[in-house]
A = this chain, B = another copy of it.
Amino acid sequence: MAGNSFGQLFQVTTFGESHGTALGVVVDGCPPGMALSVREIQRELDRRRPGQSRVTTPRQEPDQVEILSGVFEGKTLGTPIALLIKNRDAAPGAYDRLRDRFRPGHADLTYFLKYGHRDHRGGGRASGRETAGRVAAGAIARKLLSRFGVRIVAGTVQIGKVRAARFDSRAIEKNLVRCPDAKVAPRMIALVERARKQGDSVGGVVEVRVEGAPAGLGEPVFGKLDADLAAALMSIGGVKGVEIGDGFAAASRLGSENADPISYRRGKFFTRHNRGGGILGGISTGEGIICRIAIKPTSSIALSQKTVTEAGKPVTIQVQGRHDPCLCPRIAPVAEAMVALVLADHLLRLRGQVGTIRRSK
């Protein structure tokens, strides 16, 4: 499978450059007969959209999505669903001065090294703008998952050194940084604003939680659910780390401290602490799934940085494009989308592979 596709039974293929004609995605494998409207997809896109607040980039993109195929009379056909998002506020001229030089921390250098010919405008294919297609596809995956009672929510649990102390899903959409801790949110916002004013940026951590996922998602030994989640989340630009359940914290513990007894109530199995984040041996337990991603501070900052041109000549640049001072609030819906894509795919695979013998007599 080529690099711009993801998933096996629920497969998405995205396309588009940041300042090109359009972005889009083809979703192949969504089961037929599911009600689906432009509005449902637009709602998710609006959560990722730039220009939402003073803590995000001022680029104005309506990110209006069109459904080109795969839906007939309001319901999915089982055929590929193509979604198109035209670029409106492309400002390619802003990048003219960057044409032959590499912004540090960006993919400019590596696209040059790999492809030779590159679209230098706003990162081209490597721009965060590419995630619009992921979010649009994720909206379809989420709709599918909701039919099975699966809900996904992501919140910013850390910005810089400020950490959330609790995870209250209802708080997330009520503050600008999507923090699940209403008390801590104002401090996070202040931190982001300070960075923005100084032409600086700041990193953070986003946590994704899934409720209602059935047991049995994931396969041995390479097709593990946590392996697929790690790939899906690490594929988001700016993400430098992924952990599942207790993650890196478990590395410094003794086995006796990390123990997690199993119990049983009303037809379901439970672990006491859910240290595995809803996954044991790469397969879901039926408990809540929990993962976290480390997000680096936006590399595009207004402060001057040393770099070189394609010819290797040293230069100093100051990135003048419009950028997010902190990626977390806008990455949260992208992370939800990626988790949704993984779960939708594994859900269909689970239904296909396992239990068929038992279902047949």
- Which listed segment binds B: A18-26, A49-57, A177-185? A18-26
Take A28-B2, A255-B301 as given contacts and tell me if A260 and B105 are in contact as well, using a CB distance cutoff of 8 Å: yes
Q: Which chain A residues in 233-283 approach chain B with CB under 8 Å?
A: 233-235, 237, 240-248, 250-264, 269, 271, 275-277, 279-283
Q: Are B280 and A110 in contact (CB under 8 A)?
A: yes
Q: Are B125 and A79 in contact (CB under 8 A)?
A: yes
Q: Are B242 and A241 in contact (CB under 8 A)?
A: yes
> Complex: how many Å from CA A132 to CA B41?
27
Number of copies: 4
Tell me if A62 counts as interface (CB < 8 A to partner B). Answer: no
Q: Which chain A residues in 289-340 approach chain B with CB under 8 Å?
A: 294-301, 303, 305-308, 312-314
Take A244-B240, A269-B312 as given contacts and tell me if A202 and B1 are in contact as well, using a CB distance cutoff of 8 Å: no
Q: Are A227 and B231 in contact (CB under 8 A)?
A: yes
A299 to chain B: which residues have CB within 8 Å? 255, 258-259
> Complex: how many Å from CA A66 to CA B60?
25
Given contact pairs A1-B8, A31-B353, A257-B297, a sample of 6 additional A-B residue pairs in the complex whose CB atoms are under 8 Å apart: A14-B80, A29-B353, A104-B259, A203-B251, A222-B231, A224-B234
A259 to chain B: which residues have CB within 8 Å? 104-105, 299, 301, 303, 305
Q: Are A1 and B11 in contact (CB under 8 A)?
A: yes
Q: Are A4 and B79 in contact (CB under 8 A)?
A: yes
Q: Are A5 and B5 in contact (CB under 8 A)?
A: yes
Q: Are B348 and A283 in contact (CB under 8 A)?
A: no
Q: Are A68 and B20 in contact (CB under 8 A)?
A: yes
Cross-chain contact of A5 among B13, B16, B258, B303 (Cβ < 8 A) = B13
> Complex: how many Å from CA A351 to CA B92?
32
Show 6 A/B contacts (Cβ-Cβ < 8 Å), sorted by A: A4-B26, A15-B81, A21-B68, A72-B118, A250-B294, A263-B314
Take A15-B70, A294-B243 as given contacts and tell me if A314 and B264 are in contact as well, using a CB distance cutoff of 8 Å: yes
1/0 contact string of A198-235 vs chain B (CB within 8 Å): 00111111000000000110111111101111111111
> Complex: how many Å from CA A24 to CA B80?
11
Tell me if A75 counts as interface (CB < 8 A to partner B). Answer: yes
Q: Are A264 and B312 in contact (CB under 8 A)?
A: yes
Q: Are B242 and A104 in contact (CB under 8 A)?
A: no
Cross-chain contact of A20 among B72, B235, B245, B264 (Cβ < 8 A) = B72
Cross-chain contact of A113 among B6, B69, B216 (Cβ < 8 A) = B216
Q: Are B240 and A247 in contact (CB under 8 A)?
A: yes
> Complex: how many Å from CA A330 to CA B109?
36
> Complex: how many Å from CA A261 to CA B317?
10
Tell me if A147 counts as interface (CB < 8 A to partner B). Answer: yes
> Complex: how many Å from CA A176 to CA B240?
30
Q: Are B15 and A281 in contact (CB under 8 A)?
A: no
Q: Whose C-beta in chain B lies nearest to the C-beta of A280?
A: B110
> Complex: how many Å from CA A313 to CA B269?
11
Tell me if A88 counts as interface (CB < 8 A to partner B). Answer: no
Q: Are B297 and A263 in contact (CB under 8 A)?
A: no
A68 to chain B: which residues have CB within 8 Å? 15-16, 20-22, 24, 84
Q: Are B245 and A244 in contact (CB under 8 A)?
A: no
